[in-house]
Amino acid sequence: MVDAPSRPAVAAVIVAAGAGLRAGQPLPKQFALWRGKPVVRHSAEALVAAGVATIIVTVPAGGADIAEQALRGIAGIRIITGGATRQQSVRLALEALEAARPAHVLIHDAARPVLPLTVIDRLLAALELTPGAIPVLPVVDSLAHADGALMGAPAQRDVLRRVQTPQAFHYPAILAAHRAWDSAQEAGDDAQVARVAGYEVTLVEGDERLHKLTFASDFADTAPVVRVGTGYDVHRLAPGEALWLCGVKIDHDKGLAGHSDADVAIHALVDAILGAIGAGDIGSHFPPSDPQWKGASSDRFLTHAVGLAAATGYRIGNVDLTLICEAPKIGPHREAMRARLAELLGTDISAVSVKATTTEKLGFTGRSEGIAAQAAATLLRG
């Protein structure tokens, strides 16, 4: 593997605070799945791979949780709430970088997930000569001015360029330009803000791969229609503990011991859902070392996992859960368990299966030392 170039003087802003309504997704397009990952994650990973150590991501109000999940595990990310307009979001991000005072900053739209390193290199090389640089591509199609229902005279495509992001600037210059901008006016992009402030902006060669995801067709067939995950968990039976299984409290001489309420069935199911969306396991979201989860109801873990699945564009198709124990008998409680899980999953009870088996007196479950559970979850897109 080739080491990423070290660019300690370069920071980045990813603008991800828009609604993305034209993309036809069940959530803002920057958080929708594209080629197996949330859109915003693609460019964030590309920037880190390019050696950018500090990245500010602006998100819509109330979008921090979705963004944190979409960007989980990426170093150097800071998430802030954006403004009412793109220009306001960028200014807030630039202000957030003031303590770091980078020499250069890359400002990128989250809706452009493919970010080639060659474009970043060209932009930063241009900053050695000018305070701003933007990637552009030639216009290859014929153009005409629209005049109501009629088409006017052809536009001169040879003098026009398609503007892309990231746009690169000397950090002090673009911060000053945004501070001077009249926020009552809409800015087309950061290059416009810089030019109005009197800064020169040079053009560098862009890349067709920097295509902006805009319409529903841009997402067509890029995420699998069906995703499947599995989960497995074990908890020890101990006297003096309450026994919770599938969100139902069961009378028994022993209960399950654990940091939370130790509902082994729900824990396996949470892992199955998290696994289906590639979001780690229950321990990474609710670590047992964190005292806030001591004695917590596992219902919270399951609704959290379902919410994360919904945030990535998936709903529960069906779940299949198997409890492995000698006692208690699961049959008398099966329908109550199915009903409770269906409620927590937000699905019909017909999509919930709860089964039980024994190990014929073999192993720890056969000796009634604990209960194991295994689960499978099918998620459907949309």
Average pLDDT over the chain, rounded to whole?
A: 89
Q: What sign results for the dihedral spanned by CA atoms 330, 335, 340, 343?
A: positive
Poorest-pLDDT segment among 46-60, 121-135, 218-232, 276-290? 218-232
CB atoms within 10 A of CB 372: 20
Q: What is the mean pLDDT of residues 210-216?
A: 85
CB atoms within 10 A of CB 363: 12
pLDDT top residue among 149 and 106: 106
CA 184 to chain centre: 31
Nearest to 181 by CA among 154, 199, 167: 199
pLDDT at 214: 81
Cα angle value 194/195/200 (rounded, 5°): 90
Q: Which two tokens stand for residue 264?
A: 């082994």
Residue with tokens 């009634």: 368
**pLDDT (tens digit per residue) in 52-78:** 989 999 999 999 999 999 999 898 999
C-beta of residue 106 within 8 angstroms of C-beta of residue 168? yes
Outline where 189-228 has alpha helix (H): 190-196
C-beta of residue 175 within 8 angstroms of C-beta of residue 132? no
pLDDT top residue among 1 and 98: 98
C-beta of residue 77 within 8 angstroms of C-beta of residue 14? no
C-beta of residue 379 within 8 angstroms of C-beta of residue 315? yes
User: 1: pLDDT confidence band, cut at 50, 70 and 90?
Assistant: very low
CA 316 to chain centre: 18
Amino acid, res. 38: P
**pLDDT (tens digit per residue) in 153-207:** 666 777 888 999 999 999 999 999 999 999 888 898 999 999 999 999 999 999 9
Q: Which two tokens stand for residue 280?
A: 């780690």
Render 27-63 in DSSP notation, one character per residue. Answer: S-GGGSEETTEEHHHHHHHHHHHTT--EEEEEE-TT-
Domains of the chain, earliest start first: 10-219 (3.90.550.10), 226-381 (3.30.1330.50)
Q: What is the mean pLDDT of residues 306-317?
A: 85
pLDDT top residue among 381 and 106: 106
C-beta of residue 331 within 8 angstroms of C-beta of residue 356? yes
Q: What is the percent of the chain where pLDDT is above 70? A: 91
Outline where 111-170 has alpha helix (H): 117-126
CB atoms within 10 A of CB 299: 17
At residue 122, does pLDDT exceed 80?
Answer: yes
The residue length of the chain stands at 382
Q: Which two tokens stand for residue 24?
A: 């036809």
pLDDT top residue among 306 and 147: 306
**pLDDT (tens digit per residue) in 6-46:** 666 999 999 998 765 555 565 778 888 887 788 999 999 99
C-beta of residue 103 within 8 angstroms of C-beta of residue 33? no
At residue 152, does pLDDT exceed 70?
Answer: no
Residue 140 DSSP one-character state: -
pLDDT top residue among 337 and 290: 337
**pLDDT (tens digit per residue) in 251-280:** 999 999 998 999 999 999 999 999 998 888
Spatial separation of the C-alpha atoms in residues 335 and 326, rounded to whole Å: 19
Q: Are strands 370-381 and 33-34 parallel, antiparallel or unpaired?
A: unpaired
User: 146: pLDDT confidence band, cut at 50, 70 and 90?
Assistant: low
pLDDT at 2: 40
Residue with tokens 């945004």: 178
